[in-house]
Structures are given as C-alpha cells and as structure tokens.
Amino acid sequence: MIVREIKHDDLVLARHVPAEVAWREDLNFFSTDEEFVQVGTWGYDNDKELLAHTHNQVVRKVFWTQEVLYIRKGSIKARIYDLNEELVSEVIAKDGDILILLRGGHGYNILEDGTQVLEVKNGPYLGAERDRRRL
C-alpha cells in the first residue's frame, strides 16, 4: 500500500496513510515542511537513543486549521470536500490508519461499534463560531 493523496486540481486536500505504511521502521514523515501540521511516525528497536532537544520560540502565521486522525480501533468513512464544498472522495480508514486533513471540508461516518479515534489539530482553538462552518 502507498500513501494516497486526495486532490482537487493541484491542491492536496487530504492524505490517507494506511497502517502498513504508517508504522514502518525508522522516522517517516507524511507532511511537507510548508504544512501547518507536521505528521510523522517512529519505529525503532530497543536501545535507540533520540537526543534530547527543545523547540525554539518561533512566530508562525497560520491561515487555517489542519487535522490529523489516528484510527486506534474500528473504522470510519471520511468524506473529503474541495474548497467549493463539493464532495471529492470518500476514504475508509481502519485500525492503525492515519488521515491528514489539510484543506477543504470533511465529515465522518462511524462504521463499527467501539471505534476510537485520536484527533490532533493546530491551535489555538477559537471556538466553534470562528473556527468552523458546517457544510
């Protein structure tokens, strides 16, 4: 399996990273340096040392929220919309998969009882009225 990019014209709206690709050996990033959310996975053996570090304070200009979903258990159907709010694609994501939602809109259907999803997005969160609009 490979990372699937969902696009409208040349604009990447989302990426689906199947579990088989996401959880490989070493350090693997699935985002570009320019994206507001940076997504990567680690796969190391015992005794690997990752050097201690801190992150410098850097002023960043963020124009929109980007989200990452990790499907811990179960499955979902993600509906991906373009900037014109038109449905572009539907993606089934299951145990261990990662969805990176970069632009456009999205909605979900839960496909299995007991589905568990970790959602991470850039902040700060300014509240539902300012941060999102229902399609």
For the chain (length 135 residues), average pLDDT per consecutive 10?
Answer: 94 97 94 94 95 95 94 98 97 98 97 98 86 85
96: Cα within 13 Å, side-chain hemisphere? 7
The parent domain of residue 16 ranges over 4-131
pLDDT at 26: 94
The predicted model scores a pTM of 0.92
* Spacing of C-alpha 67 from chain mean position: 5
pLDDT at 1: 79
Which domain CATH number covers 37?
Answer: 2.60.120
Contact 80, 89 (CB under 8 A): yes
pLDDT at 133: 84
Number of structural domains (the chain) is 1
Beta-carbon count within 10 A of 2 CB: 9
Number of H helices, E strands in the chain: 2, 10
